[in-house]
Chains A and B, each alone.
Chain A
């Protein structure tokens, strides 16, 4: 366990992924995800001055208001939250949290830490004095970031993905607003249709606003082009903290230049500057917030004759703003990071300096006055392994036409999926398909629901060409193959001590008797063949036969079926299988169904 001032030199990359800045204007804590380390960096001397080892992946950091304590989420199926004395590095508490804890937040009084349990879809309220979990508050899906209002009452939680059907009318992830004091979900703030990959949310220091970074996917459109944000746009939504209402969503892209994968959000101490890290395009948006606020306030609710085309932006009414690629012109400076600094994710103000944690280069970028003034290497530079290089390219939008998206835009969360239906051109048009996780894709050919790519290798290369709209050297696809092959299933949150629960064990038997295992045999849980199991949707072609998907990690890949029309596994085996063409399930008792679903959700 940690508490050491010196760590053994990490053999693997550090992957700085979270930051916590002290109020002294020079102290910065850096969580290094793949090295199980938290570094203490002195920004004034640009040196790593201390290191703490963590028992598991450090996913998030939070400093108490007085700076005396640092909370570190150490993620795993059974996560720990370490409370560390910043003065001497002593671990004063280790509290249990849920599956893949992240984004800790100290309450203003320093007595409580709130933690997102990503794969439990809830938030743990940890009582530091009692050293126990006071309660767990459910949110919508995969909470990955949160912000607490200054009075400590409301927690705004960014849900990574939406949790409905992908063919629904209003597909969008939400910001959950928890009333911490009452221990209830107060409301859900719905973002524009197509919103997802909410990566960070931050409260302005004056307490008035929150800004959440996310993608705004134009997913129902055919993937014919990228120009002008035709597929993915990159956005942020501004929330009025007093009313707990969305003010509007602004695009961080520009007309001819995408700003892919907005990640960390930071505010200057005077709330006048809002900064967003773009992990895909390796840059930082530095936004003049009062000017943004004034521009948003100026836009009429409905178009008026007075709004002339002489405006420096395109929006004529508030509804235009989420589509306006010129809205930030004059308000925002795009700071491009040097080539030494790749993959900025977390971002923080340290005094007046802006610092990004660059995931793939193991560096920090220091930005002052809209210029990168320094790059701090957190470790000796070392060559990337092929898989690591592939992970980098997978998250790199600089290999995409105009930087609109990276592979990770549609496949967030370590190459899984965005839960959206996309209409790719590879199987004709007008027949959108639910995005698939890339876990095990190389071992489960063919790729795509209709199997239009014989192998994952072909799909990777086609994706570069037809989705990123670029030609790349062979190394890019080769390394992506290696990265994707290196992915391992995350243990299901439904396992008990890493094993099937009794209910799941019962379900395992039903899985065999109902015939599920005929096409989804244990192992890869696919026989790699194509069938028509009666799941054809109204937008499918008549002759479509669908590839049998693996069921591994099915607990996290909702919605289901090739058209994303089934919200739960239960829907798949019940309401969507009335003719028993997709396994013999109509004769199963309710408890059997329950057990079968528990088993499936344990894979």
Chain B
């Protein structure tokens, strides 16, 4: 194998001795060689340490032999064959979730698929005999999981480059292969057995996309053992992957989603009940580095979990970490051990854009599987390019290569019975009813101590809708927005309603199912004091409770008496929208009219006040003038695509923003605003000052997916005006409004012309007017009459078809029938 990561480690007799002693104590007669191993180790160790002897001595070779014998004699390793997958490492893509390179039509990056894979097992009790259970030359199989009875194996397989991934099951002896899922144009991945024999997996069945890019994302789904009644049990807006069943019966999975925060450090571990209720953060959601806490498994008979500390912009590998969440929900303290141990130095609880720090780990690991609290299997880089091999790791510091085979080995786990976790009864129905949220005390929270009791009067429920569309051109927010959505952040928002918070901090309300929502706490003036920056969901009929807002998740609810919890003694409040039914928030429709009525007569193009702050409605290439001005001139202090740490109350939003301070300081401006006008402005700021109501667009091939003028037209306009318009599609490089499609002659980019009779001026004006005409005929998403472009309509139709299939499956669940993918083709 030559120079490799696997053979770099020097002999560690102390580690080996500790493991042998532990195995002897733990397994007694089942580990009979312990005393002899120790004797041999003593003899070898004295020679290993002899001065003047080069490392590659016979002593080291004997050490390696003993190490292999002693560690492989561990019954956890050798009593049963070990399953693994042979395949090439996934080709690099932008994120660690992009490993399946979908074949479905109109998906992004489908060209990186590398075929060839096999499902194998190695029997270490039989001298490492390798048996092939299943092989594919043109396809890839991945993500195997052995049933708790040790007799069956689930996995995901794609048979060729034009096919999608489906879930399959095979007997552990390699017979009786059967396909369980069949849906066309969706990829089913990461299957695992649930305690009652049913199956959960990740799937692109709700076709939606990475908010900071263009890749199709996946959610958790569940089906019966025979592949029937597939239904969605996770609804977060990006990716839910690497699910595994915890010893207590919950699902442990990694989730990628970001509401008002950065994409890069927003992958963490979450739990859910197998029926899709009770989604709760488990670990790492507010840790800056690693950016990706993924691929976790809980360790039986302990309160520990082992997982990968990786990076957003990498493959799903990195360092391995053993975490004890009793020691904390984030940061370094709860990390008991890491492989490599030096990776501990990369952990940062806070920091900005350090989410890819774990790419610096040279010899990366993935696919950890705990054999117990002290012994683990994993795949580790061999040092030969991307190739991975199967390793045995332990708490004592030993690392032993078990098997290497080109082009690479992944997903080791014993083909052995395991303790079947208990079945958690379902707490939901399939009637598409609202769920209930009950908050005990909003003042319970890490940062809420600074908020005086009685301050919070309202709780606003906001939906962060999924991204169903994408464009190739992008706006440079704090990450790629394809198409442009907001100045910094990626989400659009939909206010579902605002409910009262009792004086004792309790709140009780209903929320529609299948919505990814977050909560904001408002004061008596309706201004946001604190806001969630991740999302929650309820299933139909679920009654969900939480203690407070960002409380330490190691605390039980405070003891209270019956008279407390006053919100709970009333019927749950219902969500009644916001100045009308719930709708996608559109700056131009919801906020700009306030400025139009009260401000623009002073704050317009070519006015003194407008020079300070132009609040005109006029559409520019990507956003409109006032939106650009308020953001660019720092009238808004909002979190944007903010950092991973929990933010302090009042630290952003209307309370912290200059626009609100200015309005308050200028009685003339403030007094003209009606309460509703005022509320529209502050609410918009508290929503992180969004612009577009939809990820759909009218001009998908033009600048930022939003410009009516195409690149050729913009190129000519740049020549005519000397202004690099195409370079303005980022928040950092934008120098203010340059074009008014509403009043083309007021376009600032024309100000360099001396005369309106200049033919070049007239050509430039004509170009802008042509854009204005286009916008009139084909409005963008911010204007009335908007229709998504044809591809977006196609995507919406696909989304709707999938939604109807989901509803059909739920209908079957309601009446106790079975529906299969195949019937739906």
Closest to B248 in A: A402
Q: Which of A60-68, A237-245, A318-326, A384-392 forms part of the interface with chain B?
A: A318-326
- Write out the residue numbers on chain A whose beta carbons fall within 8 Å of the beta carbon of B554: 228, 255, 313-314, 324-326
Q: Which of A20-28, A466-474, A496-504 forms part of the interface with chain B?
A: A466-474
Q: Is B825 an interface residue (CB 8 A)?
A: no
- Write out the residue numbers on chain A whose beta carbons fall within 8 Å of the beta carbon of B508: 430
Q: Which of A132-140, A167-175, A272-280, A591-599 forms part of the interface with chain B?
A: A167-175
Q: Which of A193, A219, A311, A471 contacts B422 (CB 8 A)?
A: A471
B440–A221 touching, CB < 8 Å:
yes
Q: Which of B248, B544, B552 contacts A314 (CB 8 A)?
A: B552
Q: A224-B438, A469-B425, A539-B569 are in contact. Are A325 and B556 (CB under 8 A)?
A: yes
Closest to A171 in B: B561
Could you give, for residues 537-576 of chain B, a 1 whenever the CB lies within 8 Å of some chain A CB and a 0 otherwise? 0000001110100001111111111111100111100000
Please, how many angstroms separate the alpha-carbon atoms of A398 and B302 in the complex?
15
Q: Which of B248, B327, B564 contacts A326 (CB 8 A)?
A: B327
Most interface-central of A166, A167, A325 (chain B CB within 10 A)? A325
Closest to A334 in B: B303
Please, how many angstroms separate the alpha-carbon atoms of A470 and B273 in the complex?
12
Please, how many angstroms separate the alpha-carbon atoms of A225 and B437 in the complex?
12
B328–A309 touching, CB < 8 Å:
yes
Please, how many angstroms separate the alpha-carbon atoms of A429 and B542 in the complex?
13
Could you give, for residues 408-430 of chain A, a 1 whenever the CB lies within 8 Å of some chain B CB and a 0 otherwise? 00000000000001010100011
Q: Is B333 an interface residue (CB 8 A)?
A: yes
Q: Which of A218, A222, A309, A401 contacts B559 (CB 8 A)?
A: A218
Q: A193-B560, A218-B557, A323-B558 are in contact. Are A257 and B303 (CB under 8 A)?
A: yes
Please, how many angstroms separate the alpha-carbon atoms of A320 and B559 in the complex?
10
Interface of A is mostly: loop
Q: Which chain B residues numbered 286 to 334 have a C-beta less than 8 Å away from chain A?
A: 301, 303, 324-328, 330-331, 333
Q: A167-B562, A256-B248, A465-B425 are in contact. Are A224 and B544 (CB under 8 A)?
A: yes
Q: A221-B545, A430-B569 are in contact. Are A251 and B423 (CB under 8 A)?
A: no
Distance between A427 CB and nearest chain B CB, rounded to angstroms: 13
B555–A312 touching, CB < 8 Å:
no
Please, how many angstroms separate the alpha-carbon atoms of A473 and B449 in the complex?
47
Please, how many angstroms separate the alpha-carbon atoms of A224 and B443 in the complex?
21
Q: Is A230 an interface residue (CB 8 A)?
A: yes
A401–B556 touching, CB < 8 Å:
no
Q: Is A432 an interface residue (CB 8 A)?
A: yes
Q: Which of B330, B446, B557, B570 contacts A221 (CB 8 A)?
A: B557
B568–A222 touching, CB < 8 Å:
yes
- Write out the residue numbers on chain A whose beta carbons fall within 8 Å of the beta carbon of B821: none
A469–B555 touching, CB < 8 Å:
no
Q: Is B45 an interface residue (CB 8 A)?
A: no
Q: Is B424 an interface residue (CB 8 A)?
A: yes
Q: Is B249 an interface residue (CB 8 A)?
A: yes
B249–A430 touching, CB < 8 Å:
no
Q: Is A233 an interface residue (CB 8 A)?
A: yes
Could you give, for residues 456-476 of chain A, a 1 whenever the CB lies within 8 Å of some chain B CB and a 0 otherwise? 000000000110011100000
Q: A255-B325, A326-B326, A430-B569 are in contact. Are A224 and B545 (CB under 8 A)?
A: yes
Q: Is A254 an interface residue (CB 8 A)?
A: yes
A323–B555 touching, CB < 8 Å:
yes
Please, how many angstroms separate the alpha-carbon atoms of A256 and B305 in the complex?
12
Q: Which of A221, A314, A471 contacts B555 (CB 8 A)?
A: A314
Number of interchain pairs (Cβ within 8 Å): 143
Please, how many angstroms separate the alpha-carbon atoms of A329 and B324 in the complex?
10
Please, how many angstroms separate the alpha-carbon atoms of A598 and B360 in the complex?
80
- Write out the residue numbers on chain A whose beta carbons fall within 8 Å of the beta carbon of B563: 167, 169
Please, how many angstroms separate the alpha-carbon atoms of A168 and B440 in the complex?
19
Interface size on B, residues (CB 8 A): 47
B545–A222 touching, CB < 8 Å:
yes
Q: A220-B562, A309-B331 are in contact. Are A401 and B569 (CB under 8 A)?
A: no
Closest to A166 in B: B562
Please, how many angstroms separate the alpha-carbon atoms of A166 and B424 in the complex?
31
B561–A255 touching, CB < 8 Å:
no
B326–A255 touching, CB < 8 Å:
yes
Q: A227-B280, A425-B543, A470-B425 are in contact. Are A221 and B556 (CB under 8 A)?
A: no
Distance between B253 CB and nearest chain A CB, rounded to angstroms: 15
Q: Which chain B residues numbered 555 to 605 have a C-beta less than 8 Å away from chain A?
A: 555-565, 568-571
B555–A325 touching, CB < 8 Å:
yes
Interface size on A, residues (CB 8 A): 59
Q: Which chain A residues numbered 516 to 559 have a C-beta less than 8 Å away from chain B?
A: 539
Please, how many angstroms separate the alpha-carbon atoms of A539 and B303 in the complex?
40
A225–B545 touching, CB < 8 Å:
yes
- Write out the residue numbers on chain B whose beta carbons fall within 8 Å of the beta carbon of A216: 559
Q: Which chain A residues numbered 255 to 308 have a C-beta less than 8 Å away from chain B?
A: 255-257, 303
Closest to A172 in B: B559
Q: Is A493 an interface residue (CB 8 A)?
A: no
B303–A233 touching, CB < 8 Å:
no
- Write out the residue numbers on chain A whose beta carbons fall within 8 Å of the beta carbon of B556: 218, 228-230, 233, 251, 253, 323-325
Distance between A164 CB and nearest chain B CB, rounded to angstroms: 11
Most interface-central of A230, A255, A425 (chain B CB within 10 A)? A255
Please, how many angstroms separate the alpha-carbon atoms of A357 and B102 in the complex?
61
Please, how many angstroms separate the alpha-carbon atoms of A257 and B299 in the complex?
13
A220–B303 touching, CB < 8 Å:
no
Could you give, for residues 424-443 of chain B, a 1 whenever the CB lies within 8 Å of some chain A CB and a 0 otherwise? 11000000000010101000
A325–B565 touching, CB < 8 Å:
no
Closest to B195 in A: A471
B424–A470 touching, CB < 8 Å:
yes
- Write out the residue numbers on chain A whose beta carbons fall within 8 Å of the beta carbon of B552: 309, 314
Interface residues of B (CB under 8 A from A): 196, 248-249, 278, 280, 301, 303, 324-328, 330-331, 333, 422-425, 436, 438, 440, 446, 449, 508, 543-545, 547, 552-565, 568-571
Q: A221-B565, A325-B326, A401-B424 are in contact. List 13 more A-B contacts (CB 8 A).
A: A171-B561, A216-B559, A219-B562, A221-B557, A224-B438, A228-B547, A228-B554, A257-B248, A257-B303, A309-B328, A309-B446, A323-B557, A323-B559
What are 20 A-B residue pairs whose CB atoms fall within 8 Å in the complex?
A170-B561, A216-B559, A218-B557, A218-B560, A220-B561, A220-B565, A221-B557, A221-B565, A222-B543, A224-B545, A225-B544, A254-B303, A255-B325, A255-B553, A314-B555, A323-B555, A323-B557, A325-B556, A430-B568, A471-B424
Question: Can you list the 8 inter-chain pairs with the closest CB atoms, starting with the nearest?
Answer: A229-B556, A193-B559, A314-B554, A471-B423, A326-B554, A314-B552, A326-B326, A224-B545
